[in-house]
Amino acid sequence: MLPVDLKAEDFRQYPPEAQALAVRNIQLLRPLPLGVLPLVLREVIAYDWRFPAERDDLDQQFQYLAKLTPAEFGREMQPFSALRLSPDLEQFDWINKPEQFSEKLSAHLWATHQMDAFRQASIDYVHRLNVAKVQRTLPIPRVTLVVIGKGVTNNTYPVFRKLRAHGVQFTNVAADGGLATLFDFVETRAKTSPVRFGHWYIEGGTSETIDENVVSISYRGLDSVRASLLRKMVTTLQTGRGPEALRTELAAMRPSEVGLPDNGTQGILSRFQLSLLTEGSGTQIFSTTFAQWAARESLRRAQPVTLLVRFAPRQRESLLAPVSFSDSSSLDPQGSLIDADMAAYYTWINQARLSGADQSGFLVWFEGHPLAFAAGPNIVANTTDSNRTTLREVLARIS
């Protein structure tokens, strides 16, 4: 089947909102080349489970395509139309299995030396799409808070090395009550500026109690899910089917298969958590990897205006088999500090890619220690502040 033959009934297996979106935009889908249409459908088919920011991105993509003249549309899609695809790809059920089609397309493009052309065409298309997008107006400036170093006592590692040039390092911060101050800050923003999926708390250990207006996920809270996934991974790999088969199986999993709710608002969050554990490398085993990936994906997908990420000590080492999450596993606070310090830098980069970045605030605190880093519109970059201060005062400077 080719895109030009698409009919409304072809989307009958899609979830309700996704089906309505596809049918509503079918005139825009039909002229898309097969080299790009299933990639769009990969986003459409998951529309019911996407965050508001993701839905808006997809809606704006259709608006962009709708505004193109036939000549502009042809020029936009010409690089994708020029791709040489195999009959197997054309005959594949790319409507109902766009994720699997994407994997097959990638393998075909590599095998036929067309990946560079496809990648460049994709970069150019996304660039023009982003230029045409209407930038969202944030209800309040975005603020991201990162807490690192839990459990570290005597430290010789120089924290914030990657970040120092971009903000101010505080060397005399009162540590008492620091965590409570950060939680109070997040809860206050969530109450005074309620935004659906707009305020997040990501915990690398056991989650602290936080206001219901804040989206909360934690590494320890997903223990049973991680154990179930690891057992599945081990079983699949032991059959000899290889990592590609494993990836396909994990991509097809539903939250209910691992004990997560799969309906309504909770279903959206469940699918997000499942994607963290099925798409991330090491997120099933190491808490620092989980927290870093969760921060990255929440900023990329949900684009919250408030994000608090707290790192906890990870296991020193672990094997896939036997699967165990017992507390007897040795922890590595010092190594985890190094992981988290680098993760904080990556989190700052990811925040800088979002709308309103020039007005956004960013803070990293070395938990239990007098060290913090802050960046924002009112912060002088590449400076050091040794005056006695509190986290509450630092927060006031970035928000």
Q: What is the pTM of this model?
A: 0.90
Of 159-163, 256-260, 272-276, the least confident: 256-260
β-strands 383-385, 199-203 pairing: unpaired
Mean pLDDT estimate for the chain: 92
What pLDDT, on a 0 to 100 scale, did the predictor assign at position 320? 45
Q: What is the DSSP string of 49-118?
A: GS-HHHHHHHHHHHHHHHHS-HHHHHHHHHHHHT----HHHHHS-TTT-HHHHHHHHHHHHHHTT-HHHH
What stretches of the chain adopt beta strand conformation (E)? Answer: 143-148, 168-170, 199-203, 215-218, 306-310, 361-366, 372-375, 383-385
Report the distance separating Cα 63 and Cα 25, nearest Å.
10
What is the location of CATH 3.40.720 in the chain?
143-222+264-318+328-398
223-265: per-residue pLDDT in tens?
999 998 888 888 877 787 767 777 777 877 889 888 898 887 8
**Rounded average pLDDT over 185-194:** 97
Q: Which residues contact 25 (CB under 8 A, 6 or more apart)?
A: 62
Report the distance separating Cα 195 and Cα 366, nearest Å.
29
How would you class 284 by CB atoms within 10 Å of its CB: exposed for 0-12, middle for 13-18, buried for 19 or more?
buried
Q: Which two tokens stand for residue 61?
A: 């993509």
Could you confirm whether domain 143-222+264-318+328-398 is CATH 3.40.720? yes
What pLDDT, on a 0 to 100 scale, did the predictor assign at position 233? 82
Q: Which two tokens stand for residue 63?
A: 């608006």
What pLDDT, on a 0 to 100 scale, did the predictor assign at position 244? 73
Band (pLDDT 50/70/90 cuts) for residue 375 is: very high
Q: Which residues contact 159 (CB under 8 A, 6 or more apart)?
A: 148, 149, 337, 341, 364, 366, 371, 373
144, 361 contact by CB (below 8 A): yes
Name the DSSP letter for residue 143: E
The answer on pLDDT for 118 being more than 80 is yes
List, in sequence order, every residue forming a beta bridge with 199; answer none if it has no partner. 306
The answer on pLDDT for 110 being more than 50 is yes
The answer on pLDDT for 326 being more than 70 is no
**Rounded average pLDDT over 10-21:** 96
Q: Which two tokens stand for residue 170?
A: 């505080």
129, 61 contact by CB (below 8 A): yes
Q: Which two tokens stand for residue 12?
A: 């009958």
Name the DSSP letter for residue 374: E
